[in-house]
Structure 1
């Protein structure tokens, strides 16, 4: 059994059970964004979490060790995504990436925002012109260290 197989089983079980990613996260006691990424194969799970997922999603027992493996991260098959939602995130980076970089350097100095020591939240914000999506990235600042 490989990770892609386990991901397909998880998604199939989620549909059959009518579970949302938020509901699964609640049952695991984990953040919604982390849980979704882990279920989609982008994070390894500890043994207890993997066993809970196997039980909750009625997966075969051999799925548990697969869920614990460190994954090959990056789930897109192309450099420029074609899915409209993912493309818009890419477009935001294309348009505002240099602005984000300039403001991080102005505020923090020469360095980067970690995507390893990182949190993200996705929220719905009611707005009179139509509901909006609020995405918050929170990553540890890592200064460049020149020896």
Structure 2
């Protein structure tokens, strides 16, 4: 299965809290695969969310914008090993790195077993997998 990977949209996850009043910082943290204290730091401007988080926040925004009733939705927290995307969709390491907002070097470290992908990367990989399966028919 070959997929053409588009440019990736990003959004600040704090905007989700402002747009969806029912969404708590704890729920957002769980959905993004981060500690609630990270969300607090973004809220006060002490730190900025990574590209990975901003891309995952964009994917979450697309889901929430299309969600039918009943509301609010149960937010999914499934994860996927991002290396599965390489073979399933026949994409390059560069394309995978761009999709996940990480470096090509990080991909190499995962392949060689030097490091493991973080929870936020595995969350984004799961969301991209779902999206790409639908897009590729």
Q: Same fold by TM (over 0.5)?
A: no
Taking structure 2 as the reference length, the TM-score comes to 0.31
Higher-helix-fraction structure: 2
Radius of gyration: which is bigger? 1
Greater RCO, CA 8 A, separation 6+: 2
